Amino acid sequence: MKHFFKRFSIIAALVLVVAVGASIPRPAQAVVSTGDVQTIISQVQSILASLAGILENIKSGSFAAAVLPTLPDTAQAPDGPFRFTSTLQRGVSGNDVRELQSMLLDIRGIYAADVTGYFGPITEAGVKEFQKAYGLTVTGIVDSSTRARLNDLEALPGRIIVKVRGGASKNAVDGLAKTYGASVKADLSQISSYVLEIPRDTRDAAIAGLSRHSLVARAEVDQLALPVAVPNDTNYASEWHLSKIGTPTAWDSAKGDGVTVAILDSGIDSTHPDFSGKLVTGWNLVDNNSDTSDVYGHGTKVAGVVGATTNNATGVASIGWNTKIMPVRVALTSGSAYISTIASGITYAADHGAQIANASFATLSSSATIQSAANYMKTKGGLVTVAAGNYGTLDSTPDTTSVISVSATNSSDVIASWSSYGPYIDVAAPGDSVWSTTNGGGYAAVSGTSFSSPAVAAVLALIKSANTALTNTQVESILKSTAVDLGATGYDQYYGNGRVNASAAVSAARAAVVPVPDTTAPIATVTAPTAGTTVSGSVAVNVTASDTVGVSRVELYANGSLVGTDTATPYAFTWDSTLAANGASESFIAYAYDAAGNKGTSPSVSVTVNNPVAADTTAPSVTISTP
């Protein structure tokens, strides 16, 4: 058995090396062929088919040794000389890469599981043994830089998210795209953004150029975000997480009635008996149709944590009890999803009545586009929960007020060994071996921050149903202030504000003072250009706006004429100064609005227009009229 796992770990390492290869510049000669990849696929499929019995042996204690915490960051030689250097070359299609990526997620789950077994370290000698056994060429072992390369698999073809300045028309964006040989793939109008599709080899140069353009506020790679599930094992008696966070007591006062949680994922199995009567109309943003069937199996598991039918003598109980579920498919068949599609899912949820949206994908907290979409949802009174990630390492992403980032705990109220952590963590929640629904009408214990995140979404639903008069700011504050402080006293980077406590949160919500109507207007300031500046050509106008609840939109006017509207930070506009007379004084005023309709007015900023006057090279025309 030890030899099996040593071999298995080597295969996993090779699969990761192959999967990452698509994003690295390649020499002309082939190193790993399509046939090699198919051989690996066959071997991995055979291994996966045998894992159920093997894991049972491990759990029963038949094999004892140290557990390797997380494959990507620890699968390297201790002295570090044999690290990832180069990867597969030509001869492998994008579909091969994506299939291997999908398998990798399953393989990673074995390493991240909290079980006892032999996971021998991956060494150079081990890789050479694998080469000899399978006749393949291996070019390196993964290291801590692998995750960034894996996230860059979207590079076939390249995709860019461009946030334009207010006042930029769709025609202008189309023209801008053509300049870089790109085409507009999607319109994220709610957050003033567009998705451009561009050849991979020109993507980075295009981002650099677009970032400097007067019409553009921001340009970033439209990366693929990975689902963060760690598959495990078949209901109420096994659901330790419900009692751990005080859900049974919370249910005495609130069951999530009247609250809808959008599940932004791979879809949901609507035929599952535990979703009978629980789903509201959603949308498939990948294929742009109403088919929200689960194409990968991840979304059904996530949804079950939030809203599987409870007290029906069937399957599992969910934290949300009567909470409704809105299926929004954002993931490809590989389980991964483009950042832009997830952002569209958030705005779709906000526009279609969901009070909470959950996205169980890694690295979302660091995306400016996701933050813009989450801020848009907050202006609609909603909240967004996201998974911290399953890399078991420190992520230095700074904290953001846009989303609620969730780490995972186990049944001992300790951070899971595979849960990512850092200053961006807001709260922790159970995510290790929690029972949920699966595709095809089944049930299983699942692990990952993919499931701690929807647990928090469900607790938010209970809070909202306990006191419908609460603002989203109050709901989030109650979630954090009632969390059980674990680890270091006060806030820490593992548990954030603590492990959520549904019972205490619902009690606090019921006792909370009903907020007075919001009558406070936002504060707006035109920060550029500065007063007294002389301007010409296309003028970049920047505005800052803040509000006690949230800014819903900012409008910019030049001498009383609307320049444009922006709904997401940074509030940026472009004004064509050639529309004004040369030497004229133009005054910029910004108006910021909140969800309650309050309007804040910025101080006026006046500038002088001085566009170059073209030299007069046309001779006068003379006509003799008489005699």
Check: CB of residue 407 under 8 Å from CB of residue 425: yes
Quick check: is 450 catalytic? yes
Pairwise CA distance, residues 203 & 182, whole Å: 9
Helices 34-59 + 2-20 axis angle, to 10: 140
Helix %, strand %, coil % of the chain (to 5): 35, 25, 45
Positive or negative torsion for Cα 389, 391, 395, 397: negative
Active-site residue, from 114, 222, 265, 594: 265
- Contact criterion met (CB below 8 Å) for 278 and 458: no
Upper half-sphere CA count for residue 475 (Cβ side, 13 Å): 28
Compute and round to an integer the Cα radius of gyration of the chain.
27
How large is the angle between the packed helices 94-112 and 2-20, nearest 10 degrees?
Answer: 140
Whether 412 sits among the annotated catalytic residues: the reply is no
Nearest to 98 by CA among 12, 13, 19, 14: 19
Amino acid identity for residue 193 in this structure = S
CB 319 within 8 A of CB 462: yes
User: What's the CA dihedral at 47, 49, 50, 56 to 10 degrees?
Assistant: 120
3-state secondary structure of 385: strand
Active-site residue, 233 included: no
Relative orientation angle of helices 2-20 and 124-134, to the nearest 10 degrees? 90
550, 375 Cβ separation under 8 angstroms: yes
Q: What's the CA angle centered on 366, arms 365 and 369, to 5 degrees? A: 90
- Tokens representing 256? 């999530």
Q: Is the dihedral of CA 403, 366, 410, 59 positive or negative?
A: positive
Q: Looking at 405, 450, 452, 602, which residue is catalytic?
A: 450
From the candidates 213, 241, 272, 298, give the one annotated as an active-site residue.
298
3-state DSSP of 203-224: HHHHHHHHHHCCCEEEEEECCE
- Residues 326, 353: Cα–Cα separation, whole Å: 9
Q: Is 169 exposed, middle or buried (0-12, 13-18, 19+ CB in 10 A)?
A: exposed
For 541, phi then psi, to 5°, come to: -115, 120
The set of catalytic residues is 265, 298, 450
